[in-house]
Amino acid sequence: MRYAWTYAKSSTAPYRTVVRARIICDAANGVANEENARRNGVRADTVRKTRRRASAATSAAEAFADAHRPGRPPRISVGCRHHFA
């Protein structure tokens, strides 16, 4: 929970991380999903998804991480990209 408070007040963290942290902090304070959504400028479904993800997470990093997105795998490996950069 300490990480959520830190991220919620951050001005350098990515915006999506700050919003997720604010949702988690409001939920911890007992704010209802609809009110939480109104306060943070998101839909109630987003609040539900964030709360579900945070309760299932085993670490703070997992609670704030983006979900895996399907798609074509990269054609150039990460190691090769670092070599040329």
Is the pLDDT at 2 greater than 70? The verdict is no
Return the closest-CA partner of residue 38 out of 46, 49, 28.
46
- Residue 79's pLDDT is 75
Q: Which of 6, 10, 44, 9 is nearest to 27 (CA)?
A: 44
pTM of the complete model: 0.72
- Please give the structure tokens belonging to residue 64: 């704030």
Q: Can you give the pLDDT at residue 41? A: 96
Please say if the pLDDT value at position 76 is more than 80. no
Has residue 73 got a pLDDT over 90?
no
